[in-house]
Amino acid sequence: MPNSARLLNVKPVWQIASPRWKKAAFSRELAVMAAELGLERPADSALRLWALMSARVEEARTKKAEGESKQLALEDQSVKIRDLEAEIAIASAANLK
């Protein structure tokens, strides 16, 4: 935690139970970071940082969901292929008799 955040008595985000409080604490931490970086309008900068980070988190969630969906589709295709191979083997065995 940055020194200035300690002075403001900002709790780390993971120690606050309510999601609303987590967002508020995180916004304060972003504002402190922006101020430490010397940005002219720390509140606006913090909001932009928050929006950017939220967008990246949502993008990561979407990619993860798409990846899981593709994995399930591949597993389903593998099962179908195994079923077809089994049917071919049974048909081949029946033709050999």
Q: 8 and 27 in contact (C-beta within 8 Å)?
A: no
Q: What are phi and psi of 40, to 5 degrees?
A: -65, -45
**What angle (nearest 5°) sits at the alpha carbon of residue 59, between those of residues 57 and 61?**
70
Tens of pLDDT, residues 42-87: 566 667 777 777 888 888 888 888 888 888 888 888 888 888 888 8
In this predicted structure, what is the pLDDT of residue 43? Answer: 62
The alpha-helical segments, DSSP class H, found in the chain are 3-7, 19-36, 42-96
Residues whose CB is less than 8 angstroms from the CB of residue 12 and which lie 6 or more positions away in sequence, other chains included? 1, 25
